[in-house]
A and B are shown apart, each in its own frame.
Chain A
Amino acid sequence: MQAWRIEVLVRSDMPDPAGNAALRSLHQAGLTGITSVRSRRGFLLGAGLNAAQAEQVAASVLMDPVTDRYEVLAPEAVPEPAAKGTHRVSVLLRPGVTDPVAHSVEKAMRDLGLPAVPAATYKAYEVTGTVDAKALAAAARRALANDVIQQVLPDQWPAGMPGPGGAADLQVQEVPLRTLDAAALVKLSQDGGLALDEAEMLAIQQHFRAQGRDPRRMELETLAQTWSEHCKHKTLTGRVRFRDGAREHLYDNLLKSTIAHVTRTLDRDFCVSVFVDNAGIIRFDEEDSVCIKVETHNRPSAIEPFGGAGTGVGGVIRDVLGTGLGARPIASTDVFCFAPPDMPAAQVPAGCMHPASIMKGVVSGVRDYGNPMGIPTVNGSIHFDENFVGNPLVYVGNIGILPTRRASKQPRAGDFIVALGGRTGRDGIHGATFSSMDLHTESEKVSSGAVQIGDPITERKVMDAVMRAADEDLFHAITDCGAGGFSSAVGEMSEDLGATVELEGAPLKYQGLAPWEIWISEAQERMVLSVPPERLDRLMTVCREESCEAVVLGRFEPTGRLVVKYGGVVHADMDLHFLHKGLPVRERQALYVPQQHTEPSLPAESDPRSALLAVMADFGVCSKEWVIRQYDHEVQAGSAGKPLCGVRNDGPADAAVIAPKLGSKRGVVLSNGLNPRYSRIDPAAMAECALDEAMRNSVAAGGDPDTTAVLDNYCWGNTRNAERLGELVRATEALCSLAIAYRTPFVSGKDSLHNEFRAGDRTITIPGCILVTAMSVIPDVGRTVTSDLKRTGSLLVLVGTTKDELGGSVYYKTKGQLGANVPRVDARLGSDVLHGVARAVQSHCVLAAHDLSEGGLGAAAAEMALAGRKGIRVDLDAVSALAPERSLFSESQSRILLEVAPDRLADLVANLGPAPHAVVGSVTGTDRVEFTRGKAAWCTATLAEVERAWKRPLDFDGTLVPEVRP
């Protein structure tokens, strides 16, 4: 379809930051010979406008009259070829990919009273220099576009509007499977992208044989979505036969007998709702509760980092929004695992994006979804390991607040099924089942349909509408459309009831979707509500006022059946009991085989200063300021403890402190713990350390271990492999036994179990990871602390015990070693430390506190000194009897470094109680970090040296370490 083509460009006398960024990206992609790039923002407007109207839109809507100019190309016009020595590249969205800006252009044209014509957007770049057109196009495909969602047109303007969707296939398709043998059933599952195994396909066959008919396609797709690993967690909720040496144990339901068992056993009174809703809910104050959920969005982020991470954020926000009868999201937490961003390109397997590109894409995806939503991203961490190269991990978490009386929900017979929010498109078909398959070299080609692009403003409208509807009690139940789309949302809500759905009314992004596609599409920004008939009108009014689209999709009925029609024709008529309970119980074998590792025989450290600086410059330890600053961590004005602290706001915080009810001092401390590297030695150590670190981080900021709830988020390799699953069971057992000791209930969790990448004959498996997220409710955010040193003359007190535990440490890593003595947690000692430090903070005798994790005492002490811009002197002989480098870099758990005023030392010691502790040093007035042996200097570095080493590795803009600071 022909269209007006309007390109807006920054005037030549104005800076063009987007063009400069494109030039940098093309250079980084290896393109030489280009000297400048000017960016152009392209718009396509329907040919129904006349020339004056097109000019009006360009001048008054599309361009900035101060900085920009524009060029218009009429629908039938042919563009002039580019001038000699210049090229242009157009980057267009592929058909069907969400284009949120287009809707805003259409809205602005409506506001101006112009004819209703469609709009679309694209980008273009004007490139100057001596360059081969083909090489430019190839580089542009890598550096300026993502092939999965965009196409690059070299030396061309777009011809017209993206093509329409085509006619829909509305036929009811039957899938003949009653006569197939097992092998044919498996092939049917594979060819259809259903991710169902033989036992599951056989169960489906048996069910439909009993019905005397074959399943319709929509029914089979519904089963595949509902039974997916993503939705049912069938490995972790299945039967697991575990062997560890001579010990053998049969877990009937792994999750129930481990994680959920902890929560049941502890039976903490602050738990309001656990493991039943979208998010775990705990009590906040007399009226309100807080809920928390952490999700993973690894697969989509591997192939389209920006869209994958953004829609991950959007999804977990909807989880919280759909918790109870609607919770208001108050904070986000994001944890990522990548391969090192300096990995040589030759080491990156075919089919993988470079880790630096993935990291930048993920960070901007989180930024461009979370910030517009108006939800602060307050906490997170980033971890690096070569084996994340094919499977980056993107953990996205969200916290919400809701009145406790709204904590439970139940649809009722006769309620309308109302869909709210975004329109349905072909995006995200088979996302739930895609996430259950292994990634391989061709994944980015075969799975592009699984990629979604987010539209945060649509979600914000949904949030505004849902919050008002919740306050007016306009619905009986709510859930989000996540994996499986409507099929999962309506299927779950109708589980104990029944429903009839008419899909013809579902608003579509474009025509051409078959009914089964509408039913399982994972298009974003949609929620489903159960609305009593007498509140429907009011709900529709609220949605209209909030500019949020809402339609009735059907009704809940007490039939026990899920009936889905399109234009009155039945496309699915399913027994809900079979849908939800018919999944065969899976049994998996798990075998734990201990890894054999040895301690390296390293010479005594000969250059302690360089060793310290190398540890500070490790990607895992170094400053994440480049990332943190791109997130809004202040919106909603709840922040009382920020992600960066200290006199120049550049020190790392252990945890976030938020006071969500403005004017009330009551607050939440949010923290996390994860160390993938320990998993290479012993997954049990990794799991314990994750929980201990999350708890240390919490109390170091002012959290209370007695009011803390935790979440477990698994990312693992292929658990069909008995040894991988054995590692998972071992990690789980260790995690649960420590959780019992710490009295921390699990309130929610998630798993992502197929994180393997096949590149030729090589399989890359991620180190098994459990992210532990901790949330503590505290009465007064005024009794919290930060990690920056406050006063010259203070004493430094190390709480905890330092052992020869450098296995998996950053220090060993800087020496090219892994080691064997991985840190383990002593539950008794750990509990004493957590409670002792928590008491001390409450008693106001702690000026600063910082947990010891990656990089040990050396990293923690240097970070505290840098954050406060105050020198320190620490006597390593007071830390332990080990060699000085071991005292400095041991990663023994359950340790926290405290700053205390000398006249409060006795108070501090009294509060610490049985927790072991030692005065190890003091805050000096110098500009140096000094570690000594007794009075003898051993390792000295200036604060400026520490700052440079610590800030440089992830300083992608080159602005964190300016030569001269004011």
Chain B
Amino acid sequence: MSKPRILVLRAPGINCERETHEAFARAGGAPEYLHVNQLIASPSRLQDFSVLVVPGGFSYGDDIMSGRVLATELKARLGTEITQFVERGGLGLGICNGFQVLVRLGLLPCTKGRLEEEVTLTHNLSNHYECRWVTLRSQKSRCVFLPEGLTLRWPAAHGEGRLVPRDAAMAEYLHTQGHVALCYVDADGRPTETYPLNPNGSPRGVAGLTNHTGRVLGVMPHPDRAWLPTHMPDWRNTALAQGAVPADGDGMELFRAMVRVAAAEV
């Protein structure tokens, strides 16, 4: 099996590309950086890749609103290519600002296969940015690479992470049709709206969504900051309890799963 090629998108203000790139490399993928300007210059290059990743950051400063300017650029300049990429079965991942971009672009949750804004990621109820570790649980969903029932601790770091569907019907559809892939959970593993377990007030604790094909995933918290054992906040306690630090941090599960699925299809 050859290593799947993974496009790690760069753009002004995207700033988590290095840790995302390294995580995919550790997971056995073949990640490459491509600046959005380079991709616009030769859009067909997108089809050389198995996975498209939009890393976290503050694309274009999150001016106007998070993700808006990059999403507008992607839609206007690369909309056709991105739609083709997903239709032919490419995998997609948006982390934090990348998730915000994919939502504004309409690639998530994309319940109808059309690029339209069905949900938003808007201001945290606290009205400010916040960085804290959260506990997540993967839900039963369409996502082809994120298995149900994983308990994952990743850090969240955002000011606009409250996921609001455009209306009640959309909210219901997302939950019943398997678009909700990841939730903030309480100590019993139940989705929660309680602060600070849920850092932004996202209704029903939604932290991540997948699209209709289950091949594109967006997550607000950062697996890219949780893949080394020493990334975990309590690695010293774990080492004391288990006699050694584990091989990986919790975020590695996602990267390995994506690479596994992509590799099987290469």
Residues of A within 8 A of B (CB): 14-15, 17-18, 20-21, 60-62, 64-67, 100-101, 103-105, 107-108, 111-113, 364, 367, 371-374, 455-457, 460-461, 464, 544-547, 628-637, 639-640, 642, 645, 647, 649, 659, 662-663, 665, 781-782, 785-786, 790-791, 847, 957, 959, 962, 966
Contact = CB atoms under 8 A, between A and B. Distances in A.
A108 to B, nearest CB: 5
A636 B157 CA distance: 12
Interface residues of B, number: 69
B123 interface: yes
20 contacts: A17-B127, A18-B127, A61-B64, A61-B72, A66-B119, A66-B164, A104-B60, A108-B68, A367-B129, A371-B157, A460-B13, A545-B38, A628-B131, A634-B222, A639-B225, A642-B233, A663-B26, A790-B237, A959-B126, A966-B186
B240 interface: yes
A62 B64 contact: yes
| Max chain A Cβ within 10 angstroms of own Cβ: one of B37, B117, B132, B236 | B236
Interface stretch (B80-88, B140-148, B193-201): B193-201
Contacts of B35: 545-546
A847 B155 CA distance: 24
Interface string B108-137: 000000000101101111111111110000
A111 B72 contact: yes
Given A100-B61, A634-B131, A649-B132, A66 B120 contact: yes
B72 A105 contact: no
Nearest to A66: B120
Interface string B1-23: 00000000010110110110011
A959 B201 CA distance: 13
B240 A373 contact: no
B228 A60 contact: no
| Max chain A Cβ within 10 angstroms of own Cβ: one of B61, B157, B187 | B61
Contacts of B57: 372, 374
Contacts of A629: 130-132
Contact of A64 (B18, B73, B122, B157): B122
A782 B230 contact: yes
Contacts, number: 182
Contacts of A111: 72-73, 76-77
A357 B227 CA distance: 39
B15 A373 contact: yes
A635 B157 contact: yes
B253 interface: no
Contacts of B178: none
Contacts of B62: 372
Contacts of A959: 126, 195-196
A636 B18 contact: yes
B18 A460 contact: no
B43 interface: no
B248 interface: no
B20 to A, nearest CB: 9
Contact of A637 (B60, B227, B245): B227
Contacts of A636: 16, 18-19
Contacts of A546: 12, 35, 37
Interface of B: 10, 12-13, 15-16, 18-19, 22-23, 26, 35, 37-38, 56-58, 60-65, 68-69, 72-73, 76-77, 117, 119-120, 122-133, 155, 157, 164-166, 186-187, 194-197, 222, 224-225, 227-228, 230-231, 233-237, 239-240, 245
Contact of B58 (A62, A371, A640, A662): A371
A922 to B, nearest CB: 17
Contacts of B239: 782
Nearest to A848: B236
Given A372-B13, A639-B225, A662-B18, A634 B122 contact: no
Contacts of A786: 236
A115 B38 CA distance: 24
Q: Is the interface of B mostly helix, strand, loop or mixed?
A: mixed
B120 A107 contact: no
B61 A791 contact: no
B164 A100 contact: no
A401 to B, nearest CB: 12
A461 B12 contact: yes
A456 B76 contact: no
Contact of B16 (A635, A647, A966): A635
A66 B69 contact: no
Query: Sorted from nearest, which 7 A-B pairs have the closest CB atoms?
Result: A374-B15, A104-B63, A17-B127, A637-B19, A66-B120, A457-B61, A372-B58
B231 A545 contact: no
A402 to B, nearest CB: 15
A826 B212 CA distance: 68
Contacts of A17: 123-127
Given A18-B123, A65-B166, A456-B58, A659 B230 contact: yes
A368 to B, nearest CB: 8
Nearest to B167: A66
B184 to A, nearest CB: 12
A461 B123 CA distance: 25
Contact of A460 (B12, B127, B224, B240): B12
Given A636-B19, A662-B228, A108 B73 contact: yes
Contacts of B228: 637, 659, 662-663
Contacts of B133: 649
B165 A637 contact: no
Nearest to B130: A629
A363 to B, nearest CB: 10
Contacts of B58: 371-372, 374, 456-457, 460
B57 to A, nearest CB: 6
Contacts of B125: 15, 17
B240 A791 contact: yes
A41 B166 CA distance: 20
Given A15-B125, A637-B225, A647-B237, 17 more contacts: A18-B123, A61-B68, A66-B120, A103-B63, A367-B128, A371-B129, A455-B61, A456-B58, A457-B60, A460-B13, A546-B35, A629-B131, A630-B129, A630-B130, A630-B131, A632-B131, A782-B245
Contacts of B230: 640, 659, 665, 781-782
B154 to A, nearest CB: 9
Contact of A639 (B187, B231, B236): B231
Contact of A632 (B19, B157, B237): B157
Contacts of A962: 195
B17 to A, nearest CB: 9
B28 to A, nearest CB: 14
B160 to A, nearest CB: 10
B22 A101 contact: no
A662 B22 CA distance: 7
Contact of A108 (B64, B122, B164): B64
A373 B61 CA distance: 9
Contacts of B123: 17-18
A143 B13 CA distance: 30
Given A113-B76, A371-B58, A65 B120 contact: yes
B15 A67 contact: no
Given A372-B62, A460-B13, A645 B72 contact: no
B119 A547 contact: no
B129 A21 contact: no
Contact of B15 (A20, A107, A460): A460
| Max chain B Cβ within 10 angstroms of own Cβ: one of A373, A544, A966 | A966
Given A67-B120, A649-B133, A847-B240, A634 B18 contact: no
A107 B63 CA distance: 11
Contacts of A630: 128-131
Nearest to B76: A111
A65 B38 contact: no
Contacts of A112: 72, 76
B237 to A, nearest CB: 6
Nearest to B131: A632
B45 to A, nearest CB: 14
Contacts of A364: 128
